Each structure stands twice: as structure tokens, then as C-alpha cells.
Structure 1
Amino acid sequence: MTKADIAEKIQTTTGLSKKDSAALMESVFAIMKESLEAGETIKISGFGVFEPKQKNARRGRNPQTGEAITIEARKVITFKPSNVLKDAINK
């Protein structure tokens, strides 16, 4: 499913124009992105939790050469689906 598909579903569900549906979707995504960049957790009831986490630097290796390398510390986003979503998917 693409952004265009989501905007179309918003349009058919709410009756908003295509332009307004796309703007609404982009606004929601922008708010979520800003919150995650700020290190905030996003909890959506009945859907799940988006949480930024810090991964420490670690040793790894180049699979082609076998050479040892250091993988830099970085932030990642994890998603944990709610039980409601898990149940709906597994019906």
C-alpha cells in the first residue's frame, strides 16, 4: 500500500477531497516524524507503539572479505503491534 492508496482510502471514508485527504495524511506523518525525531514514543490505541531506541556501537564483519569492522551507534525505530491488531491479522 502506498501513500496514494492511503490518501484514496481516507477520501472514500471521510468524503474529503483528494487534495484535503492527501494533506491530512501528510500532516499526520509529519507529526509522527517530528515526534520520533525528538525521541518521543507514539502510542496508537488499538494499533501499536512506535518507539525510537538507541543501538550501541558493536563489532561486525564484512561478509565479502571477512574483515572486522565497527558498526556505528545509531537510533532505530521499533514497532510493537497491539494485541487488537495481532488478533485482527490472525483471524
Structure 2
Amino acid sequence: DKEKIKSYKPPIGEPCLSCRYFKICGGRCLYTHMERLWGEDGMRAICEVSKFIIDSILERMSIIEKFLDEGMITEEQLIYPKYNNTIEIMP
């Protein structure tokens, strides 16, 4: 039924659920999380890269906000593209 389909949430498990980055990362790429094509070492490597990217952005939030306030960048430039053409976009 349509409601069941609309309410479906993909199963994300550990180590993501207990990670402090999960609310930002969302499990990064569901494909990577579910398929584990690169094994546990590959999954950990992707996880570390995700944490690095998140930390890098958070460290620069005041600069990003300043650029937004000054009109040097727009919110549209920071939002997902309308048509995603990759599976490697974090939420």
C-alpha cells in the first residue's frame, strides 16, 4: 500500500546508529552501508572520510555564515542539486 511505501525507512544499523555523526551523516551512502562491497575496512575508510568532511565544514561554519550574510555565496549553492547524479551525497 502507498502509506507503507511512503513510511519505509531503510535499515541502518551499527556502527552508524551509535555514532555521534549519524544525525548529520545519515549513514552516508545507503549503498555503501548496505552492500559493503569494500568490506569492513572499506566501510571504516568511508566513515573516516565522512567524519573528516563533516568536521571540516563545522570548523568553517562561521566563515560560511559570513559569506552568506555578505552575499558572497547563496543558500542555493549549498543545497543539493535538483537532480542528483551520484550515490555519494550525504544528507
**Shared fold (TM-score, shorter chain, > 0.5):** no
Q: Which protein has the bigger helix share?
A: 2
Tell me which structure has the larger Cα radius of gyration. 1
Q: Which protein has the bigger strand share?
A: 1
Interval containing the TM-score (normalised by the shorter chain):
0.3 to 0.5
